Structure 1
């Protein structure tokens, strides 16, 4: 019977059905991103605190402790900074992180500074050009035909520009005595200077000077004033014949003996001279607009050589 019982027992077969894993959601990615963002913000906060001075930290603390009082009374951390990062703000050249708005240069101040810098560059360029012109005049004088007149030419920089003075000599006067007629040997010098002066665009002033010996009597109709003006105008004509554009001559004037070169010897021949002034931009601007400020003072003329015995007559 026992064997029969075993035969009658049913055989149960368990079949396990394998199924796929349930799909996981993406919620963990959002949590991880929040964690990374929080850590980045934390380290950024630590870096900012480390780069902030103690005074700024105290100002920030005061602002959060008593924001109304700080906002009313002012102070660090009360909105007077453009950046708390060193070198930040509107001016990247600053070493301090915070920059007060009142310390930031305005547009008008920046524009004025830029104009001053541009003005300085223009002045340097003009001085360089006039210095180059002076060297050209010296080269022209050193030519074989003009070398004898080297001692009669004086050049210096004045407030108005480059001044070229052709002075008289006891043995080699520029004009006939009491006349505006140019000596033949001076024609070549004036025309050579006219060609050199034509190489620059600057305006030219021509001044005539005489010595203190009076021409004619007190009631004479032709005095040193008329003579100096006529000699300056005669020099202008020779400069133009040498190549100087007529429109480049801005002013021709006779000054008689009012500005002697040798003050201690007003009758010395060296006082009889023709001054050619290559005007700079400021001098030309003051001529066209006399209301412009006249800055500086004209330097004194260079000391002249020992004066020769005075010649009778201007």
Structure 2
């Protein structure tokens, strides 16, 4: 029997467990860590070559084998191989711009080895093509020299191919006319056999200067005149020198493709021309290299059109006059 003076036993009170409302932050942080690691791996894979990809794959297979708990492939993407420096993953993580740029340059060089070989092949092809054009120039000059007309043409090498320029002064065409003059026929008959012996496509391009045509001519405008002149040259090549029509193309550009701006004293005479284009058969990549290669290759022919200063000055004076006076003097001196 216990006395009333004994200690009263207090009942233990159970408190509810405190709910941690911030537990989601731990999961969220874990998810971000996994995503960051995934993006790093994907980015690294996009920058490596096939050998390093195979090494990475082997590392993954070894790392996820049942006997392994930790990813520890015998050879992973970041291991050195054949003396090469491993990928600097730390540079990708920290974003160090200098280190990152250096690694990208190294990887780019390794990744584009095949492209560099292709680029060198394109350069070699362009160099050979320019050399072939130089030989064509010599053949044309030799044919023209028979009648002393070797100074009647110019040569340019563009991305289109070899451009044989015929200055359309009174030697080739009378003013506002598409009929080839006798001396012009001599030039075409010297050039024609050389072009006929080539396998290339031949594009004949007609051009005029910017002076407007007189209303008394039979041509509607400079486009019509330039096209008619190109057609006259094509007709001569087909009927006299038997170039296949499938190899010939004629185009008129009017005054839209000048060699010289109107402010240049050579513009009035120099832009009035017919171009014979020995079309390049190469790919676009090779054609883009032709002008650069040609500039570094010496040539025995004239590099650009040489327009007499007096003739250019006369044309400039005519252009400065009123339209009526200009068209009248053009008919007398030859302006288109």
Same fold flag (TM > 0.5): yes
Question: 2: CA distance between counterparts of 1:267 and 1:81?
Answer: 64
Q: Which has the larger radius of gyration?
A: 1
Which runs of 5 or more structure 1 residues have no equivalent in the other structure?
1-67, 83-96, 287-291
Q: Secondary structure in 1 aligned to 2:205?
A: strand
TM-score scaled by length of structure 2: 0.53
Question: 1: CA distance between counterparts of 2:155 and 2:250?
Answer: 19
Measure how far apart 1:262 and its partner are: 4.3
Q: Secondary structure in 1 aligned to 2:175?
A: coil
Residue 119 of structure 2 is aligned to residue 116 of structure 1: yes
Q: How many residues align?
A: 219
Question: 1: CA distance between counterparts of 2:225 and 2:78?
Answer: 75
Contact in 2 for aligned 1:211/1:266 (Cα 8 Å)? no
Residue of structure 1 in register with 2:213 after alignment? 215
Flag the 1:81–1:151 CA change in 2: closer, same or farther, 3 A: same
Question: 1: CA distance between counterparts of 2:118 and 2:176?
Answer: 51
Question: 1: CA distance between counterparts of 2:192 and 2:205?
Answer: 15
Contact in 1 for aligned 2:209/2:272 (Cα 8 Å)? yes
TM-score scaled by length of structure 1: 0.56
Measure how far apart 1:81 and its partner are: 5.2
Contact in 1 for aligned 2:125/2:286 (Cα 8 Å)? no
Which deviates the most, 208-217 or 154-163?
208-217
Measure how far apart 1:272 and its partner are: 2.0
Question: 2: CA distance between counterparts of 1:296 and 1:114?
Answer: 15
Flag the 1:137–1:108 CA change in 2: closer, same or farther, 3 A: same
Flag the 1:303–1:272 CA change in 2: closer, same or farther, 3 A: closer
Q: Secondary structure in 2 aligned to 1:211?
A: coil
Summarize deviations over 1:1-27 as a string: whole Å, max 9, x none.
xxxxxxxxxxxxxxxxxxxxxxxxxxx
Residue of structure 1 in register with 2:241 after alignment? 242
Question: 1: CA distance between counterparts of 2:86 and 2:203?
Answer: 51
**Which of the residues 134, 156, 163 maps onto 1:131?**
134
Which runs of 5 or more structure 2 residues have no equivalent in the other structure?
1-67, 88-105, 296-302, 316-332
Contact in 2 for aligned 1:160/1:280 (Cα 8 Å)? yes
CA RMSD for the aligned pairs? 4.3
Structure scoring higher RCO (CA < 8 A, sep ≥ 6) equals: 2
Question: 2: CA distance between counterparts of 1:261 and 1:109?
Answer: 38
Flag the 1:109–1:212 CA change in 2: closer, same or farther, 3 A: closer
Question: 2: CA distance between counterparts of 1:201 and 1:114?
Answer: 28
